[in-house]
Amino acid sequence: MLLLALVLLAGWLAQLGQGASYPQFLRQHVDNPKTRARDDRTYCNMMMRRRGMASPCKRTNTFVHAPARQLQDICGRAGRRAGRNLHNSNNRYRITTCRLARGSTRPPCSYRGGSSTRRIRVACVRRLPVHYDRTL
């Protein structure tokens, strides 16, 4: 029993050490429905500040405009395994990718953005997405 508790504790601590958590994934990557903005540049500048990713300036971030439940399903039947804990989505999702504008390395950060509909890859822990890996 003690051994099981130690194994579970080690796994939990490893997860924390990587900063991988479902609430953090939601904060950094899910915006559904998409917050209104005049254009993608305005959207990115606003959302990166609101979600706490503009101090220090995060180089790139992708927001997915889909219900959290659909994104959870990528870790199950709506995705295909692509590595140890990586899963590729079967479906395409509306996304906005925000990239730090050239020359903007310190706050106030300036972002440029682009919208598209693409498949995505996420890392999953206990059937929940905890890391946005890439756009496919």
Q: Is 29 a catalytic residue?
A: yes
DSSP the chain: -HHHHHHHHHHHHHHHHTT--HHHHHHHHB-SSPPP-SSHHHHHHHHHHHTT-BTTBPSEEEEE-S-HHHHHHTTTTTEEE-SSSEEEESS-EEEEEEEEPTT--SSSP-EEEEEEEE-EEEEEETTEEEEEEEE-
Catalytic residue at 87? no
Of 25, 26, 28, 29, which one is the catalytic site residue? 29
Of 31, 124, 131, 132, which residue is the catalytic one? 131
* Residues marked as catalytic: 29, 131
